[in-house]
Amino acid sequence: MTATTAVFDGTWQEVRSAKAHGKSVVQSAVPGSVVVYTVKSRAFSVWYLAGPDRGIASIYVNGQPVRIVDQWAKSPVRRSVALTGRQPVNTVMVAATGEKRPRSRGAAVNVDAVSPLPGKCAKGCQRSPVPVLALASLADVAPETAWFPDAVPVPESPQVNLAVGSYVRGSDALPLTDRAASISASACNQARLAPRGTVVLSFGKQVEGGASGFGTTIVEADIVAIVATVAAGLAECGAGPWEVSVGTSNSGGATPFNGAEGGARWAAIVEQARAASDPRVAISGAVDLEPSWGPVEQARAWVAGYVAATNRRLWNFGSADGCPQTVGGVRCNNGWTIDDVAWVSTEAGPNVWVAPQIFTQSGSLARQWAVIAARALQRGVQLRIGGVGVQSSACIQRGPCQTTGNLGWQAWQQMRAALDAIPSTAGLPIGAPRDIRWGF
């Protein structure tokens, strides 16, 4: 490749190359940066130039992660990846992960062409395509911290280590002037152990001016400061990508904070935390939505209020209480249906993702979520399962959990098996597991 001829956003550049279909490619090596294209076909392909200094790209179709593509090759060569979409016109997003195989001399990724034909750059092929959108950060588009493994990593790999979030008790975190150093050190240690991930900080149910803190109220300003402290530790000691998610729940039944007003207020806290935190770490929102805890109307209103107020990601890290474990049923506990669970987990907005609780060693929770995913596909919605949640660290702290102490990769395997047992959801992407503990 030769000199840059154009710059799209400071990170994605048009770079001339005689081997490219249109004599140039769009290229970036900045982790998390993305380019977006549209293609008028249900089956199509993205072309790139593989080479000895190329990295690993993530590809999304209509906002869904579908492929991880290693663009390394011993010598420069054109390659393509075949993709499919559900619409007559589909969006294709290519993200630079910043990762590469050890033998590669660089981590840059590129797009050579986007073709409406699988494996061919012929009629309708966009050569040297100009993206409809180019962004320096994936933070507002899709979870760059979500990793979608094909199998359980080998025990010797750092990838086997999980991101570990916290149930943040006020008694553990306050006063922050006394606890900030130890909280930051804990985050630093995590970043040295695990290569990437999403750290959910669950502050308890939402209350006037903040969150319950599981007994000692944590006001909004302290929530923001705690998030920024954790982000600072992760940024200082880890290459990432890392994400800190500001969490609450629908516990407490029907309250002013479990409806639209609460969702909008939580979105404001997330935005404040983003402004206060190290920019190398993504900041998002999270909510532990459990049907048994409150009315479905309140939960849906809360999520709608959040989505209307911000495009920051929202993770539902909740459960599917009482939902069926076999295809055919639709009813869950407390008047909820599996359609309601899917709505608050993906359908409510493009920034809504789910990392469901897969706690039970029997696999019952994984089967519930597989049924929800299958039902969602029937309705034309692909559930965004960006991770699976376990509580093994919390179980160790408080004594053994006899039936709900799944280990992280055990939960991931259960979710993989449950999805693959249903023909329509076989192969559906699942993000890596994440854990949670009490305090820091």
What are 328-340's pLDDT values in tens digits? 999 999 999 999 9
Within 195-350, strands assigned E span 197-202, 206-207, 210-211, 218-219, 242-249, 281-288, 314-316
Say what the pLDDT of residue 1 is. Answer: 59
Q: How far apart are CA 361 and CA 124, in angstroms?
A: 51
pLDDT tens digits, one per residue of 19-34: 999 999 999 998 778 8
The domain segmentation of the chain, as residue ranges, is 4-135, 158-438
Q: From the CB of residue 138, how many other CB atoms can be counted at a distance below 10 Å?
A: 23
Give the integer Cα–Cα distance in Å for 98 and 412: 25
pLDDT band at 400 (very low <50, low <70, confident <90, very high): confident
Q: What CATH number has the domain spanning 158-438? A: 3.20.20
Place of tokens 């519930």: 368
Task: Check: CB of residue 94 under 8 Å from CB of residue 109.
Answer: yes
pLDDT at 143: 44
Residue 401 has a CB neighbour count (10 Å cut-off) of 17
Look at the domain 4-135 and name its fold. Jelly Rolls (2.60.120)
What is the number of other CB atoms lying within 10 angstroms of the CB of residue 192?
13
pLDDT at 89 over 80: no
> 282: Cβ–Cβ under 8 A, 6 or more apart, which residues?
32, 137, 138, 139, 143, 144, 145, 241, 242, 243, 244, 313
How far, rounded to the nearest angstrom, does the alpha carbon of residue 274 sit from its chain's CA centroid? 16
One fold for 4-135 and 158-438: no
DSSP E strand boundaries for 176-241: 197-202, 206-207, 210-211, 218-219
pLDDT in tens, 141-195: 444 567 888 899 999 899 999 999 999 999 999 999 999 999 999 999 999 999 9
Q: Looking at residue 412, what DSSP letter applies?
A: H
The yes-or-no verdict on residue 136 having pLDDT over 80 is no
Give the pLDDT of residue 387: 95
* Whether the predicted pLDDT of 422 surpasses 60: yes
Cα–Cα distance between 307 and 238 in angstroms, integer?
30
Which position has the higher pLDDT, 43 or 146? 43
